[in-house]
Amino acid sequence: MANADILGIESSCDETAAAVVRSGEQVVSNVVFSQIATHQEYGGVVPELASREHLRAIVPVVRQALKQAGQCYESIDAIAVTQGPGLAGALLVGISYAKALAFALQKPLIAVNHLEGHIHAVLLEEKQKGNRHIRVPVLALVVSGGHTHLYLARPLNAAASEPPRAGSEQSQGAWIYHNVGHTRDDAAGEAFDKVAKLLALGYPGGPIIERLAEHGKPQAVKFLPAQIKHRDRKHKQNATIQSLSFDFSYSGIKTAVLRYVETHNMKAPIEGRRRQLAAVPNPGTQDVLSICDQSTLDLVASFQWAVVEDLVGKTLSAAREYEVGTLFVTGGVAANRQLRRRFEEQSRREGLAVYFPSRVLSTDNAAMIAAAAYPKFLAKDFAAPQVSAEASLRLG
Ligand code: KG4
Ligand code: ZN
């Protein structure tokens, strides 16, 4: 079939994004407007402000994505939009706009699950590199500010443990997903954000903790395994795919950091840092680094180490259990270099292939939404006119 150019729209959290992707495999344009500056002073996303910012940004962002792609409204083949999960008010902005656009232009509308989008970011990246021979099933870790999920994933038309077929286009069709693990409380990215807020390091927490951790000792503070609860194999007596569970938990380590702060008299310096940073417009890494003592840097490096080791360890246990040949690691936290390094080292030891999206496609973007929509476009799986936002939409 001829190429299909899909306009993707994403507004599930604090990024207003639009992109044009050709036939699910070539990013033609990718525009992301981040609301970080709006939410920074609150240390987290404020839902009402997010909706207001999406309303302001959506039209210029879509126009820019079309312009960068050398396209106009009429020349695109379909419109894809994130249906959920996410903030209801934020999702509604993207969905209402996409619905109106599809109706006015008489183009098909495709509703996409945000989590499936993150998984397709990896497929998109690999197709762009010319890699079409991904061994299935895949174990996909989706790790972001709102989610820490493990999925067994494979193309709908592939057998459960089908090896790669030479020249096959197995990733063109629809994929199916089976959830084999999720967080019991906080998502990993949420823990990065909350610990950064607690230590007055700024928002979002992941990128700043990653940069500060380079200056600290990851073994300085030993977090106990019980502070990152391992609850895998809880139904081991019925060891079927349906009953096994590899769950995560990151609220304990956040509390452990708080205890550490209290018992090591760090509260006063933290409040001092909070005041100093409030006086700096858009503080950068050097601004924060210059007012962090060594014990804070060690604490941050130890926190990152503990979370990364837990994510890698849990994912590799699940990979062994389900005998997968390929790992996907995606979502905002997958931008973390330490996480990538440890996944690469540990996967190599186990003979597993591990793929990540580029850092740009790891965090929220609309290219992944347009890519995930392509199999639905081929299958004519279009959204009904009354489609609406689903804040708690599940995958698998
Ligand atoms: O996928 P994403 O952009 O939005 C959600 O779907 O949640 O992920 C955002 C999350 C935030 O919690 C942010 O702190 C985290 O990803 N993050 C990182 C890094 N970059 C973003 N966490 C650790 N290291 C990073 N470099
Ligand atoms: Zn996301």
Which pLDDT does position 1 carry in this prediction? 65
pLDDT single digits (tens) 272-326: 999 999 999 888 999 999 999 999 999 999 999 999 999 999 999 999 999 998 9
Domain 5-116+361-378 -> CATH class: alpha beta
pLDDT single digits (tens) 365-390: 999 999 999 999 999 999 999 999 99
Phi-psi region of 192 (alpha: psi -120 to 50; beta: other; left: phi over 0): alpha
pLDDT single digits (tens) 247-265: 999 999 999 999 999 999 9
Which pLDDT does position 245 carry in this prediction? 64
Q: Is the CB of 328 under 6 A from ligand 1?
A: no
Higher pLDDT, 123 or 37: 123
Q: 81 with 369: CB under 8 angstroms?
A: yes
Which pLDDT does position 131 carry in this prediction? 93
pLDDT single digits (tens) 64-83: 999 999 999 999 999 999 99
- The pTM of the full predicted model, rounded to 2 decimals, is 0.93
Helix, strand, coil percentages, rounded to 5, for the chain: 45, 15, 35
Percentage of the chain with pLDDT > 90?
A: 85
Pocket test for ligand 1, best of 143, 363, 368 (most atoms within 8 A of CB): 363
Give the closest residue (by CA) to ligand 1 atom 2: 332
Q: With 60 as the cut, is the pLDDT of residue 235 above it?
A: no
CA dist list (Å): 366 to 15, 24, 143, 227: 9, 12, 17, 35
Which pLDDT does position 44 carry in this prediction? 86
Give the closest residue (by CA) to ligand 1 atom 19: 206
Pocket test for ligand 1, best of 333, 340, 341 (most atoms within 8 A of CB): 333
Give the closest residue (by CA) to ligand 1 atom 8: 332
Which pLDDT does position 216 carry in this prediction? 98
